Amino acid sequence: MFVRPKLLLGSLILGFGLTATSAAQSQSSSQQRKKESPKDKSDTIRSKEVEKNVWCYVTEQMPQYPGGESALLNFVYKNLKYPESAIKDKIQGKVIMRFVVTKTGEVDKVGVIRSLQPDCDKEAIRVVKMLPKFTPGNQSGKPVSIWYTMPVIFKLDNNVPKN
């Protein structure tokens, strides 16, 4: 009987995984039965020091703009000035922005993830830097700095004169 090497290797890995899982289950159940002495801390996990700046991408509570998402979009819409060069060239689209909402709720490290046109990018950066303080995000009940991604949409009105 011929067995393909990949299938054989996959079967061995799967077999080892099942064996390791059953061994771990039996070991954990035997440890539960044992009473640990408070002085024996050799097998406990020690907490590691966390570096001063923790950057979260996903968190228990995301940062909140005062007034919510609709207020955030309204702020951007009211303060965005369509660049003349983009109007002239009839450029429309999205600039995808990324920034950090710090532990104190301030906007920091503003950058462009996906560019549209240099003047549109500069305008999107200008508006995002104007954002007021957010309510900071929380992780385990403590405020943390969190990366925030947001699109800034440039769309020409139909009433804009065409050259």
Q: What ranges do the domains of the chain cover?
A: 55-154
> Given this model, what pLDDT does residue 157 score?
81
Say which CATH topology domain 55-154 has.
TolA/TonB C-terminal domain (3.30.2420)
* 160: number of Cβ within 10 Å: 10
pLDDT at 12 over 70: no
> Stretch 29-51: mean pLDDT, rounded?
48
How confident is residue 141, by pLDDT bands cut at 50, 70 and 90? confident
> Given this model, what pLDDT does residue 76 score?
92
**Following CA atoms 109, 113, 114, 118 in sequence, which dihedral angle do they give, to the nearest 10 degrees?**
30
Cα(144)–Cα(136) distance, integer angstroms: 7
Of 53-57, 125-129, 145-149, which gets the smallest average pLDDT?
53-57
- With a threshold of 0.75, does the pTM exceed it? no
135, β-bridge pairs: 64
Cα(63)–Cα(137) distance, integer angstroms: 4
